[in-house]
Amino acid sequence: MVGGPWEPVIGLECHVELNTRTKMFCSCPNRFGAEPNTDTCPVCLGHPGSLPVPNREAIARIILIGLALGSTIAARSIFHRKHYFYPDMPKNFQISQYDLPICVGGALEIDLPDGSAKRVGITRVHMEEDTGKTTHASASGRIHDAAHALVDYNRAGVPLVECVSEPDLRSPEEAGAYLRELRALLGALGVSDVRMEEGSLRCDANVSVRPVGSDELGTKIEIKNLNSVRSLERALAYEIDRQTRALEAGEVLVQETRHWDEDAGRTTVMRSKEEAFDYRYFPEPDIPPIEPDPAWIEELRARLPELPRARRDRYVREHGLRPEVARVLVADPGASDLFERTVALGAPPERAANWITQDLAALRKAGEGRVGPEHLAELIAMLDRGEITGASAKVALEEAFATGDPVPVIVERRGLAALADADALAEAVRAAIDAHPDAVERFRAGNEGVLGFLVGQVMRATGGTADPRRVADLLRERLG
């Protein structure tokens, strides 16, 4: 019997769908969202007598991932058959890797909330194929009241990389940081779409709890298929709490696999160790060993881009960005690419970063737009020259996002040019004062807050083209 305080121990197994043009062992297209069961062939449907042929580009990509993580690339690795029966897996075995994976060892360095860094060990990175997808057809979407199930084999045979971490993580936040870092790394390598909401990055979390100071591992629980950083952190927090209470109550935990119920906010048992599958792994007889040419590995190493950590450090050092801003930018390869090209056009880095991580990021939530570096650089330059106001700049950005038209064209077309004409501005201020005698009275009686209301009236009347600071000055002058 051991006592607290308790320390969580966490290791993650992350599955990454590669964005190769074709599937892992056949030439079917690898894409998301096609009509069900149209991207299939005898190989990925597991017809007898069909022969799998490994996808060279998928092997190149897993080697890139291994090199980026500092793994050893095995001179010889082999595929195994992993057997189990499930309707979404037509062969009744999955081609995977077992004791001889392509990438062994390595580490992923993560940033902790307190600003320090931590190296999380990588056990292995191996190559496998994805399964199909089963949808339970019921009004509630739940399995137990489904009348039937629909199976889509488009995803069967999509190249899947599994990245297994050492049990080095010590809190839900560290696990979240690890998953975000891995997503940024894979995004920077361009090997996957890493869209957790589409399932191209998924995560199983292993967690146990032990007395602080112990160097033995506790009984681990595996939580399957977490598909967002938030779910991962919530599921771990719940599970750590559950295990700690159980241990404090003197219970003995058993190794089991659990499911995270997002709505209920808790984990439930899927299966215990006794029910664990016996996969009957054996070497895949149809695929020769993978023995990558060392010269090819060096070619791939030369293809490695700047990795997210190095890039973040550079943004802080060279461009003077705050670390949090650098992190948000670098987490999204599209955003950091846009940032660099905007700065190359002469835009001040901090301003460019703010537009990209705030206004543009909000627009991009709804889909890809047509804003390029020239739009942003021009927008910032026009703002700086006082040719447009902040409010007009937001309107121009939205329109550039939708149309891709040059910013000066949009400013002209929409009449967004800053109201530089002093007479017109004075007229707008006078009109606002005349229209709101009550507000004027309250302001004169000492209610400063009313000034904002009057500025707002002028901004509205001028379609956002008046400079709000000049308007405020003019109002004070008139009313003072």
Stretch that binds Zn ion, among 41-49, 206-214, 261-269, 455-463 (CB under 5 A): 41-49
| Phi, psi for 176 (deg, rounded to 5) | -65, -40
C-alpha to C-alpha distance for 95 and 160, rounded to whole angstroms: 10
Partner residues linked to 128 by β-bridges: 160
374 binds ligand ADP per the rule CB under 6 A: no
Report whether 75 contacts 119 (CB < 8 A).
Answer: no
**254 vs 3, 209, 212, 245, 246, CA distance in Å?**
18, 12, 20, 14, 11
Among residues 14, 18, 26, 191, which is the contact residue for Zn ion, using CB under 5 A? 26
Which residues in 304-323 contact Zn ion (CB under 5 A)?
none
> Least CB distance from residue 284 to Zn ion, whole Å?
17
19 binds ligand ADP per the rule CB under 6 A: no
β-strand pairing of 256-261 with 221-226? parallel
Among residues 9, 12, 44, 326, which is the contact residue for Zn ion, using CB under 5 A? 44
Residue 273 is given by DSSP the state: G
> From the list ligand ADP, Zn ion, none, which binds 137 (C-beta under 5 to 8 Å, kind-based)?
none
C-alpha to C-alpha distance for 210 and 243, rounded to whole angstroms: 10
Which residues in 141-170 contact ligand ADP (CB under 6 A)?
164-167
41 binds Zn ion per the rule CB under 5 A: yes
Report whether 36 contacts 152 (CB < 8 A).
Answer: yes
Cβ-proximal residues to 76 (8 Å cutoff; 6+ apart), any chain: 100, 289, 290, 291
> From the list ligand ADP, Zn ion, none, which binds 308 (C-beta under 5 to 8 Å, kind-based)?
none
- Other Cβ atoms closer than 10 A to 383: 18
> From the list ligand ADP, Zn ion, none, which binds 41 (C-beta under 5 to 8 Å, kind-based)?
Zn ion
Binding string to ligand ADP for residues 222 to 261, with x set by CB under 6 A, is what?
----------------------------------------
Report whether 372 contacts 334 (CB < 8 A).
Answer: no
Binding string to ligand ADP for residues 190 to 219, with x set by CB under 6 A, is what?
----------------xxx--------xx-
CB nearer Zn ion, residue 90 or residue 218: 90
> Least CB distance from residue 124 to ligand ADP, whole Å?
9
28 binds Zn ion per the rule CB under 5 A: yes
CB nearer ligand ADP, residue 237 or residue 479: 237
Report whether 261 contacts 267 (CB < 8 A).
Answer: yes
- Other Cβ atoms closer than 10 A to 118: 16
Binding string to ligand ADP for residues 108 to 147, with x set by CB under 6 A, is what?
----------------------------------------
| C-alpha torsion sign, points 138, 142, 146, 151 | positive
Q: Which residues bind Zn ion (CB under 5 A)?
A: 26, 28, 41, 43-44
| Residues binding ligand ADP (CB under 6 A) | 9-13, 164-167, 206-208, 217-218, 220
